[in-house]
Amino acid sequence: MLSTMQDDQLSLANLLRHGSKLYADSEVITWTGGEARRETYGEVGKHSAQLANALRGLGVTGDQRVGTFMWNNAEHLAAYLAIPAMGAVLHTLNIRLFPEQLVFVANHAEDHVVIVDGTLVPLFAKQLPEMKTVRHVIVANGDPASLEAPAGVQVHSYDELVSGQPETFDWPEIDERSAAAMCYTSGTTGDPKGVVYSHRSIWLHSMQVCMTDSMRLDQSDKALVIVPMFHAMSWGMPYAAMMVGASMIMPDRFLQPEPIAQILAAERPTFAGAVPTIWQGLLQHLEANPQDISHLREVVVGGSAAPPAMMHTFEEKYGVPILHAWGMTETSPLGSVARPPASATGQEAWEYRYTQGRFPASVRARLINDAGEEVPWDGESVGELEVKGPWIAASYYGGIEVDPDKFHDGWLRTGDVGKITPDGFLTLTDRAKDVIKSGGEWISSVDLENHVMSHPAVAEAAVIGVPDEKWDERPLVAVVVREGQQVTAEELREYLQDKVAKWQLPEHWSFVDEVPKTSVGKFDKKRLRSAHAEGKLDIRHF
């Protein structure tokens, strides 16, 4: 028996029509350094149509890939909407990839057109000659004459290309399962892998972002979208905001603590999302330059776990709750959100908030141990997390053979190791490649990092396993001391005495100026391991 329901397509063309018409007065606000450039969603709809018409004129007539090499701004939002809505495929190029990786993903995706921010032209120009399929480059917010292109590549001014174009476009009917956008992993091991999102997956994911057990984005919100639009689709916030009419504040290239504080003061957003390092930097700025940020009803943090000490300071001193979320490029990226059960209060609620969160109805999860067996959700048993659902990747671009070990019986192997409570809250204890195996037991590098970073003199701490003849591996802690503070390895080791088991206490400590970061702001432990192997770390041994 079939249903009697209409089979309308969940396409981004429909989302664009909806958001630009029903929420025509909502705004996208682009920070330009000291002031804001404002555009209504109604105007965004017209500009998206103009961009689509311009791209048609450049030969984008089917599912060609159109790359973006851009900051978070109004032009990038128009590309987010116009490219998939016209039936082409948006490819967000990560500006922080290594040069050879950037060339690889542009060639692998076969980008036909790339839209580039003017301030990023010098970075992009170096790699353009090696991008074999690019035929057109559009320079936004800059001078196209600054880009010297190789033969066969035309360079255009964004403003000149779209001005004069019709403000309407005959948006096609699009199969919801067709490709809408693609994003490549950050390539920490091997070449970056391509994840291709469908119109359907983005639509369903956007609905989840707005749900009450998730980010609770709604029409009354003014969302500060710090998480890059060039990585993991900006956590789905641009599409979710268009769905419910929430206004967006785009910080463009102004991502340092001082301009972020200026944006908060000038625009008073109600919601924000970014990786923990952004908030750690802002916290240090606020300690020296106090200001009211209580207009933020909530901040969502992902990419890596936020130190509990930072979470407490933001809420108890500044009145801003920090909410953990977990996900990855392959999960669109929302996988779980740490919103405590309604019955939890006090310290119990905090314990829930320290986790990576509870899975929504559309994400199924399981834990698999070293023997390939599923382990129970008892809050104690540990295994590798595997997930599946309508916005979870089933393969990489190019097919399952690109990385067959990443997919297991229709489930995505996340590479994250953790445990799950009976009521579905996930706690990640490590990455599978980062867990420290010492004397037959596992030590969580994440737990050690959080404990060390709870010390008031510590700004950052990253933990890696180093070889040990007796125990196989032992933890090494790389510490960044807060400006104006002093602390010794002996003091930090003493500080950990009542926080971890005695056998987990690190014997190896190194003080560094900065913990190396990946292209998406996570601690780059691969580089730390290399520095250790090459003898570049000054280590204090116990």
What are the residue numbers of the active site?
Answer: 185, 330, 437, 442
Strands (E), 4-100: 27-31, 36-40, 65-69, 89-92
With left for phi above 0 and alpha for psi between -120 and 50, is residue 540 left, alpha or beta? Answer: beta
Amino acid at 195: V
Alpha helices by DSSP H, listed for 58-143, are: 74-85, 99-109, 121-125
Q: What is the separation, in whole angstroms, between the first and last Cα of the chain?
A: 71
- Whether the CB-CB separation of 50 and 162 falls below 8 Å is answered with yes
How far is the C-alpha of 201 from the C-alpha of 225, rounded, in Å?
21
Q: Which sign does the torsion angle of CA 374, 377, 378, 382 carry?
A: positive
With left for phi above 0 and alpha for psi between -120 and 50, is residue 138 left, alpha or beta? Answer: beta
- In DSSP notation, 209-259 reads HHSTTTT---TT-EEEE-S-TTSGGGGGHHHHHHHHT-EEEE-BT--SHHH
The helix (run of H) or strand (run of E) holding residue 46 is helix 41-57
How far is the C-alpha of 293 from the C-alpha of 270, rounded, in Å?
9
- Whether the CB-CB separation of 54 and 160 falls below 8 Å is answered with no
Q: Which sign does the torsion angle of CA 159, 162, 167, 173 carry?
A: negative
How far is the C-alpha of 91 from the C-alpha of 68, rounded, in Å?
6
- Whether the CB-CB separation of 209 and 203 falls below 8 Å is answered with no
Q: How far is CA 234 from CA 250, 340, 435, in A?
A: 11, 24, 28
Inter-axis angle of helices 12-22 and 74-85, to 10 degrees?
Answer: 130
DSSP symbol at 142: S
Chain centre distance of CA 164:
35
Which residues have C-beta within 8 Å of that of residue 346, sequence separation ≥ 6?
Answer: none
CB atoms within 10 A of CB 279: 25
The helix (run of H) or strand (run of E) holding residue 280 is helix 276-288
Strands (E), 489-538: 508-511
- Is residue 530 helix, strand or coil? helix
Nearest partner of 34 among 273, 268, 261, 290, judged by Cα: 261
